[in-house]
Amino acid sequence: MLTFGEFVRELRLKAGLTLRQFCQYTGFDPSNWSKTERGLLPPPKSGTVLKEIARTLNLNDESEDYKTLFDLAAIGQIPANLVQNPHVMEKLPVFFRTIRGEKPTKKELEELIKLLGEE
Amino acid sequence: MPPHLKWDFIREQAELFRKKYVNPADKLPIPMEKIVEIDLRLQIIPIINLQDKIDIDAFLTNDLKSICLDYELFIDPRRSSRLRFTLAHEVGHLILHKNEIQQCNFRTPEDWIHFREDFLEEDLNWFESQANEFAGRLLVSKEALKVQIENQRPKIDEFKKYCSEKFELSEAVARIICDKFGVSWQVIQKRIEKEKIRL
C-alpha cells in the first residue's frame, strides 16, 4: 500500500505539476513538502489543507482518489505499532468506509469488530 | 576513476536527450525542472544549507532516483539560471556516469564528502567537466545559438567597434542573449568559444 506522500507524489506527477508548482499553489514549503512525500514528516491533519491539496490535484470529491487521499492522511496519523500490523492495515479500508457511511458487508464488519477487540 | 569520454560522444548524448525530452525541439529556455521530475521521474529534494555543508549545490543520489539540491538555490528566483544548469549537469551525470555513480555508496551529504575525498582532484575535474559539457550543449544547442546571434547582428556589429579583445566581444554578446536560454552569460560565452562561432 502506498503511503500518503507516495500517493500524492504520484497524483502530482500525473497532473504534470513540479514540486515548485505544487508548493506555489498550496503554499507549502518545498523542503517540508518533499519530506512529507518521502514519509519523513506526517501528512497534514487539517481537512481544509487536505481539501486544498485535492483541489490543486484536480480531484473530484466523489472520486476514489479523493477518498484515498483522506484515508491515507488519516493512516499517517495512526501510531507506528498499529501501522506495522498487517491485519490492522488490511481492515482499514473497511473502517474508513464505515465512518464515511458507506455500508460494508456484514462479514467485513464482523472481522473489523473482532480485530478491534484484539487490539 | 571516471571514464574519459570523447567530447563528440558527450555532445551526441546531449542532442539525443534534447530530441527525446524537449518538445518542441527548439523550445527555449529548456524546462529542466519539468523534464527532471515529470519525464525522468527523479525526485527533487531541497536540503537546507547543502552548499554550506558540503560545498556543492546539488548531487545525484547513487540509487539514481533523486537529486538533492541546495534549498536556497531552489527557492531563489534570481538564481533560476544557475538552477537550470545545475539540474542539466546532474542529468549529465545520470546519462554519462550511471555505472560509476551506482557503484558509489552515497545517499546523504556526508556520504558525498567521503566520495569526493576518494577521488583524485584531476579525476574529479574530469568527471565534472564532462557533466558541464553535457549541460552546456543540452541547454544551448549550436543551431539555436547561431540563430540568436544572427538576431542580434546589428548590436553585435556595434559592439565590434568598441571591443578590442575577443573575450570582451563574446562577453558583450553573451550578456544580451543569455536570457533567451535561461543560463548565465558565462555559459553562453563558453558555448561561443567551444562551438568556435565567429562573431
Shortest CA gap A106–chain B (Å): 42
List pLDDT tens digits, range B72-86.
999 999 999 999 999
Q: What is the mean pLDDT of residues A20-24?
A: 97
Shortest CA gap B179–chain A (Å): 21
For residues A117 and B16, what is the distance between their CA atoms, to the nearest angstrom?
61
What pLDDT, on the 0 to 100 scale, is given for residue B111? Answer: 75
Q: Please name the member of B33, B41, B48 whose beta carbon is closest to the beta carbon of A13.
A: B41
Kindly report the pTM of this predicted structure: 0.86
Helix/strand/coil percentages in chain A, nearest 5: 65, 0, 35
Q: CA–CA distance from B136 to each of A93, B179, B191 (Å)?
A: 50, 14, 7
Q: Please name the member of B37, B41, B48 whose beta carbon is closest to the beta carbon of A19.
A: B37
**In terms of C-beta distances under 8 Å and separation of at least 24 residues, what long-range contacts does A40-43 make, across chains too?**
A42/A76, A42/A77, A43/A4, A43/A5, A43/A72, A43/A73, A43/A76, A43/A77
Torsion angle, alpha carbons of B123, B126, B127, B128, to 10:
130
- Name residue, grid cell 527548439: B26
Residues 6+ apart with CB under 8 A from B31: none
Q: Which residues of chain B have pLDDT under 50?
A: none
Instruction: Cell numbers for A53, please give them.
Output: 491539496
Chains A, B: CB contacts within 8 A come to 32
Evaluate if residue A65 carries a pLDDT over 90. yes
Determine the Cα angle at B139 with ends B138 and B143, to 5°. 80
What pLDDT, on the 0 to 100 scale, is given for residue A78? Answer: 74
Q: How many CB atoms lie within 10 A of CB A29?
A: 13
CB-based contact B135:B128 (threshold 8 Å): no
For residues A66 and A51, what is the distance between their CA atoms, to the nearest angstrom?
9
Q: What is the mean pLDDT of residues A74-83?
A: 75
ipTM score for this prediction:
0.87
What pLDDT, on the 0 to 100 scale, is given for residue B77? Answer: 93
For residues B122 and A22, what is the distance between their CA atoms, to the nearest angstrom?
41
What pLDDT, on the 0 to 100 scale, is given for residue A118? Answer: 67
